[in-house]
Amino acid sequence: MDIPTHSDLAKGNSSAPVAIRLDDVRRDSAFGYAAEADSYHHVVLNEDDITGAFAEAKRTGRRVLLRGNGRSYGDVSLSGEAICLDLRRFCSIESLDRQTGIAVVQAGASLAQIWQYCLPEGWWLPVVSGTMRTTLAGALSANIHGKNNRHTGTFGEHIEWIDFYSPARGLERIRPEDPDYWSIVGGWGQLGFIVRAAIRLRRVSSGNVLVQNVPTPTLEEMFALFESDCRSEYQVAWIDPFSHGRGVYSAANPVMSDEPTSLFVEYQEPSDRLFGRIRKDQAWKFLKPFTNRAGMRLLSRLKWEAAVRSPGTGAKMMPLATYHFPLDYVPDWQRAYRPGALRQFQVGIPIENANKAFARFLRMSQEAKLEPYLSVIKRHRPDPAVLPYLGEAYSLALDYKRTRRNADRLDRLFREMTDLAFDFGGRFYLAKDCFMTPADARRNFAPAAIEAFLAAKRKFDPTDMLTTDLFRRIQLHANT
């Protein structure tokens, strides 16, 4: 999705009333092209634009879609024929208290903008996603988790307050102690619009983390490391999807010594070229020849061999941004999946079943000759949102390439793995979902959670103005 141009902005003059015009129709895709929808785009420049759009939606009976950088993998941020509020120009960092680390940020500011502004002052985001393109409103709506979820929790746990606009109640300030807070945060934008938030940043004296990579020949050894190494703040593991479970466990901790120059943005993002030669924005083209079984088998093997051949070299120092945002190494890498689509199967399984379940998922994929191209494991603690993702659990994210030829087989595999996941007590993350049925959703969330969410929905958005394609698909809306 392109950033709005100056002519878009000229059209979207903030004082002009929002109107439905055919030449505002844009087709948005999920990140990875698993879903798409048309909507009437309007650039949000200030709060009047937001209230204007909601007024027009009320008048015409249309839905409203809140959209940032479109980093969700499924249809949670798509809404066909809705008025789409493009938040990417509503992105100011309104203030940063250099003493307390409280930053007040507008909805459309990306994690990139926030850390680039705050890191030179010695502050870093407490929780980040694998991409820095996530917007603030997106991070809160999806209540994102990072590699430090076990220790630090979710993004929503580091907020002082939010300014929240809902169709039924207008603008109000909500704090974490308010009973509705955890319906709104982690509420997938279904209740209203998080206009701005005050984030509690964490103090850092260095812009580096110390990373230790350990090759693990089996899943058992990997899980043992996760559990024994509970003092490491950041924990993540990669599995070779073409193997029986070998992989690389990676633990990291912030560097505590004073390294002021490492806080500079230039240090964090030193080059716009990979290996000093390939322009980053063109690098996905070099990835494309490998986005097939043979290519990914080769890359996975090389990654494993590289890890095995350089063991015991001790911890490696890495800039925070390089460590935290691996999905941004190769911008637009999802284009390498074209003309197919990227489908992610991201599931969380309770600790006691994770080893068995993950081994089964790998085996099922291999037997179907539909190995994922990437598989990543993280450790989680209970999520406080009303529609929670996980309890004490491990998550497994598997990236598949869906093509016209394998679509039916891949859908069957997803169906079988989904059923198996539920049998193991698994839960799915809606930011990555484009598969769940209404029945699946009722297995994914406890009845009390669904009831609480729907009660909040009826309170803030009783006419389903904000219900997106995903929530219509799984039939969780005010009129349910």
Partner 1 sequence: MRNPPAYKYAIIVGASSGIGAEMVRLLAEGGCTVAAVARREAPLKELAREFPNRVIPIVHDVTDFAKIPEVFLRCTDAMGGLDLVIYNSGVMPDVAPTEFDFAKDRQMIEVNLLGAIGWLDLAAERFQASRRGVIVAVGSVAGDRGRRGQPVYNASKAGLSTYVEALRNRLSGRGVIVTTVKPGPVETDMTAHLGFRGAMSAPDAARLILAKSARGSEQYLKFSHRVIFATIRLIPSWIFRHIPI
Told to check if 10 binds partner 1 by CB under 8 A, we report no
The residue among 212 and 463 lying less far from partner 1, judged by its C-beta, is 463
For helices 351-367 and 219-228, give the axis angle rounded to 10 degrees: 150
The residue among 37 and 191 lying less far from partner 1, judged by its C-beta, is 37
| Closest approach of partner 1 to the CB of residue 36, in Å | 9
Using the contact rule CB under 8 A, the part of the chain among 18-26, 133-141, 206-214, 353-361 near partner 1 is 18-26
Q: How many CB atoms lie within 10 A of CB 312?
A: 5
Told to check if 177 binds partner 1 by CB under 8 A, we report no
| Closest approach of partner 1 to the CB of residue 442, in Å | 21
Told to check if 316 binds partner 1 by CB under 8 A, we report no
Question: Is there a contact between 199 and 176 (Cβ–Cβ < 8 Å)?
Answer: no
CA neighbours closer than 13 Å in the CB half-sphere of residue 371: 22
Q: How many CB atoms lie within 10 A of CB 422?
A: 16
Using the contact rule CB under 8 A, the part of the chain among 17-25, 90-98, 329-337, 386-394 near partner 1 is 17-25
**Tokens representing 357?**
């379940």
- Tell which residue, 347, 366, 356, 371, has the closest CA to residue 444: 347
The residue among 28 and 461 lying less far from partner 1, judged by its C-beta, is 28
The whole-angstrom separation of Cα 140 and Cα 52 is 23
Q: Which residues contact residue 7 at a Cβ distance below 8 angstroms, ignoring those fewer than 6 apart?
A: none
Told to check if 62 binds partner 1 by CB under 8 A, we report yes
Using the contact rule CB under 8 A, the part of the chain among 22-30, 84-92, 280-288, 304-312 near partner 1 is 22-30
Q: How many residues bind partner 1 (CB under 8 A)?
A: 13
The residue among 309 and 404 lying less far from partner 1, judged by its C-beta, is 404
| Closest approach of partner 1 to the CB of residue 344, in Å | 22
Radius of gyration of the chain measured on its C-alpha atoms: 22
| Among 13, 17, 19, 27, interactor with partner 1 by CB under 8 A | 27
DSSP collapsed to 3 states, 358-381: HHHHHHHHHHCCCCCCEEEEEEEC
| Closest approach of partner 1 to the CB of residue 25, in Å | 5
The whole-angstrom separation of Cα 108 and Cα 102 is 18
Question: Is there a contact between 436 and 473 (Cβ–Cβ < 8 Å)?
Answer: yes
The residue among 80 and 350 lying less far from partner 1, judged by its C-beta, is 80
The residue among 25 and 439 lying less far from partner 1, judged by its C-beta, is 25
**Tokens representing 32?**
């990875």
Told to check if 38 binds partner 1 by CB under 8 A, we report yes
Told to check if 383 binds partner 1 by CB under 8 A, we report no
Told to check if 408 binds partner 1 by CB under 8 A, we report no
Question: Is there a contact between 199 and 105 (Cβ–Cβ < 8 Å)?
Answer: yes
Told to check if 26 binds partner 1 by CB under 8 A, we report yes
The whole-angstrom separation of Cα 79 and Cα 18 is 18
The whole-angstrom separation of Cα 212 and Cα 311 is 10
Per-residue interface string for the shown chain with partner 1, residues 195-234, x marking contact by CB under 8 A: ----------------------------------------
The residue among 35 and 128 lying less far from partner 1, judged by its C-beta, is 35
- Considering only residues 345 through 364, tell me which ones interact with partner 1, judged by CB under 8 A: none
Told to check if 22 binds partner 1 by CB under 8 A, we report yes
The residue among 20 and 278 lying less far from partner 1, judged by its C-beta, is 20
Told to check if 70 binds partner 1 by CB under 8 A, we report no
Residue type, position 426, single letter? G
The residue among 24 and 440 lying less far from partner 1, judged by its C-beta, is 24
Told to check if 1 binds partner 1 by CB under 8 A, we report no
The whole-angstrom separation of Cα 60 and Cα 4 is 25
Question: Is there a contact between 183 and 453 (Cβ–Cβ < 8 Å)?
Answer: yes
b/e per residue, 101-110, with b = 16+ CB within 10 A?
A: bbbbbbbbbb
The whole-angstrom separation of Cα 105 and Cα 136 is 8
- Tell which residue, 229, 249, 228, has the closest CA to residue 240: 249
| Closest approach of partner 1 to the CB of residue 80, in Å | 4
The residue among 190 and 208 lying less far from partner 1, judged by its C-beta, is 190
Per-residue interface string for the shown chain with partner 1, residues 75-94, x marking contact by CB under 8 A: -----xx-------------
User: Which residues are near partner 1 by CB under 8 A?
Assistant: 20, 22-27, 37-38, 62, 80-81, 469
